[in-house]
Structure 1
Amino acid sequence: MSRAFVNEDQAAAQAEQPIERQVSPHPNYVTPQGLVELQEKVAQLQLQHQQQSDLRDSADPQRLADLERDLRYFSQRLRSAQVVTATATDKVQIGSRVTYVDEQDDQHSVQLVGEDQADAARGLVNWASPLGRALLGAQPGDEVLWQRPAGDRLIEIIRIEPA
């Protein structure tokens, strides 16, 4: 067998490997609910991985590789999780639910959460995002500058509630 065929086989095998999920450089702060969600995600992935491994011959190798990649990522996130419990305070912190008004007098309510728990559609905002960073430490009545890629926006904090 020529050396060229060996290299092609190795290149094909490498191409099938899933790209690792990038781990954020930020501290892995999570709310208590975020920790529960991470634990559930790891348990779900472990079960799916076990089911795929049990199928051995008929298992989809790409599906198995994707599960292993996700299991490595979420297991690492679970190990590095630092639970932050919002306390009753007059300052925005991770876990706080914040109501604010923007320049168009539109009222919005979001909760600052960890990166893996963030879901804009549910009003869960990553604490390390531009909006999260603008809100952290603010108090009711404060106007803060939300630096967005689409343009800066001045917002006023109306209310802060612990989770």
Structure 2
Amino acid sequence: MSDSRPRFITPQGFARVRAEYDELFGIERPKLVETIAWAAANGDRSENGDYIYGRKRLREIDRRLAYLGKVMKTAKVVDPSAQESRDQVRFGATVELADEDDNRRQLTLVGDDEADASSGKIGWSAPLARALIGAKVGDERIVRLPSGEKSYEVLRIAYPA
């Protein structure tokens, strides 16, 4: 995601990022550093599985911490329950859609860092989300997907209370 656009995130999404950061930084990383120090004290590091795995896992944790830190630093927390214009699709809206074959699905537009397609949360910059922004109930939107164009009708728009 380009750095020129705001990195929107819901308060719940920000809390999850913060909790993961705190868990990695405050609990998992210190334990791992201790394990690595113990393994290093056991002599030959070239064949020491605890040492080799520990160093590899430490690099993964440090990369994740750097990413989470960047997310928190650049995040713009937006509370969807404070949305005043509730008749249009905006950040945080839960939208019920129907495609051409009347297959229905419900999606919630969230920050790209908290998207989870399996639970119906799509990132703010996803093609479908971008096509829906500003739509009202009854509007039809055409989305260009890798599989071709698909048309959706907005059936319902809801925001958290």
1:36 aligned partner: 15
The answer on whether the counterparts of 1:114 and 1:127 sit within 8 Å (CA) in structure 2 is: yes
Q: State yes or no: 1:51 paired with 2:31.
A: yes
2:62 aligned partner: 68
Q: 1:118 aligns with which of 109, 112, 115?
A: 115
The answer on whether the counterparts of 2:95 and 2:158 sit within 8 Å (CA) in structure 1 is: yes
Looking at structure 2, the residues matched to 122 and 137 of structure 1 have their Cα atoms a distance apart, in angstroms, of 23
Q: 1:139 aligns with which of 136, 140, 146?
A: 136
2:47 aligned partner: none
The answer on whether the counterparts of 1:127 and 1:136 sit within 8 Å (CA) in structure 2 is: no
Q: State yes or no: 1:151 paired with 2:139.
A: no
1:107 aligned partner: 104
Say which structure is richer in strand: 2
Q: State yes or no: 1:128 paired with 2:108.
A: no
**Amino acid of the structure 2 residue aligned with 1:77:** V
**Amino acid of the structure 2 residue aligned with 1:74:** L
Q: 2:159 aligns with which of 142, 150, 162?
A: 162
Q: State yes or no: 1:83 paired with 2:77.
A: yes
The answer on whether the counterparts of 1:52 and 1:64 sit within 8 Å (CA) in structure 2 is: yes
Query: Gaps (5+ residues) in structure 2?
Result: 40-50
1:63-93 Cα offsets, whole Å, 9 max, x none, are 0001000000011101111011222510111
4+ residue stretches of structure 1 with deviation over 3 A?
A: none
Query: Gaps (5+ residues) in structure 1?
Result: 1-23
RMSD in angstroms over aligned alpha carbons?
Answer: 1.2
**Amino acid of the structure 1 residue aligned with 2:95:** V
Deviation at 1:27, TM superposition (A): 2.2
Deviation at 1:137, TM superposition (A): 1.1
